[in-house]
Chains A and B, each alone.
Chain A
């Protein structure tokens, strides 16, 4: 049975899968780091029995059913959880990340704040898509390590794509589950590439239905406070990552972006983006 190893921020996870779903594994992890020499912390097993698929960790069943897209959603969620859960070598942030010419933008925020909408829109504007979900920044560095997965657009927010990406025209190239639609990043930007990028801008997306556009420059203290709220492995870090979070905001301009539609993101917002 083939094994795919996914690595992120010094942690590794192995996925054993039947050849019949090799295309799905390729779809999900083609941009994720793979270190075949790494010793995985966890192994997830995918099995098939007729049209039934199952995802297991040891004796624990994480998914059983016949829907490949639901399996994909659970698999990605479990992958992220295991790669971040024990990480203590730097900040794991709930954040999207984009880049251009080695300059990185991180978009930290809780679910529903518009990280994926903003990152997919930026991809269509020529920015490299790095991730829409998790960023790792090692201790004493400003280098973005991104957990790269296809952008997961929530089904309830899929209409937000209409003005910049016709998802229906690419139905055969995307995966849709009951929760999300997964889009290969290069459908959004054919030239998108993984590159090493240094954090040069922090934008906290603040999507609100019906909201007026507002771009507010944050003081370093307010940026630090907001960044702490997006730190997912604080419990593993010295001093809960407080000094690392404040170190990052000392060096980096930060903004709070309130928006309800990407159509609002014209001149002023685009001027702060790295070129």
Chain B
């Protein structure tokens, strides 16, 4: 996934924050999407302006100990979001 791509979050989902995790529900498709704590962080950084690269950088700054795997984690998470229609890239 190119670092300059910008994930655009869908506005069609209803969102519930439960502890540090998120549950998204699409009322038309009647599907729910579970987001782990890590996925929730990525979701919160998807504001329609940040690029994939900027999201990775921001998370590396917050979690330097995990920086080696963050690029891959963010990419996988965004792919999952896209599969559910939660973001467009």
- Docked complex: A232-275 residues within 8 A CB-CB of B: 234, 239-240, 242-243, 246, 249-250
A-side residues, CB < 8 A to B, are 219-222, 224-225, 228, 234, 239-240, 242-243, 246, 249-250
C-alpha gap A20/B82 in the complex (Å):
61
Cβ contact within 8 Å between A220 and B14: no
Residues of B within 8 Å of A220, CB to CB, are 18-19, 21
Closest to A221 in B: B21
Cβ contact within 8 Å between B27 and A222: no
Count of chain B residues with a beta carbon within 8 Å of a chain A beta carbon:
14
Indicate the member of B21, B32, B34 with the most A CB atoms within 10 Å. Answer: B32
Residues of B within 8 Å of A219, CB to CB, are 18-19, 21
Indicate the member of A221, A240, A243 with the most B CB atoms within 10 Å. Answer: A221
Known: A234-B30, A240-B30, A242-B32. A225 touches B23 (CB 8 A): yes
Interface SS, B side: strand
- Docked complex: B11-70 residues within 8 A CB-CB of A: 14, 16, 18-19, 21-23, 25, 27, 30, 32, 34-36
Closest to B22 in A: A221
Q: Tell me, rounded to whole Å, the shortest Cβ–Cβ distance linking A146 to chain B.
A: 25
Residues of B within 8 Å of A243, CB to CB, are 14, 16
C-alpha gap A117/B27 in the complex (Å):
34
- Show 27 residue pairs from A and B whose CB-CB distance is below 8 angstroms, ordered by the A residue: A219-B21, A220-B19, A221-B16, A221-B22, A221-B23, A221-B35, A221-B36, A224-B18, A224-B32, A225-B23, A225-B32, A228-B25, A228-B32, A234-B30, A239-B14, A239-B27, A240-B25, A240-B27, A242-B14, A242-B16, A242-B23, A242-B25, A242-B27, A246-B16, A246-B23, A249-B18, A250-B18
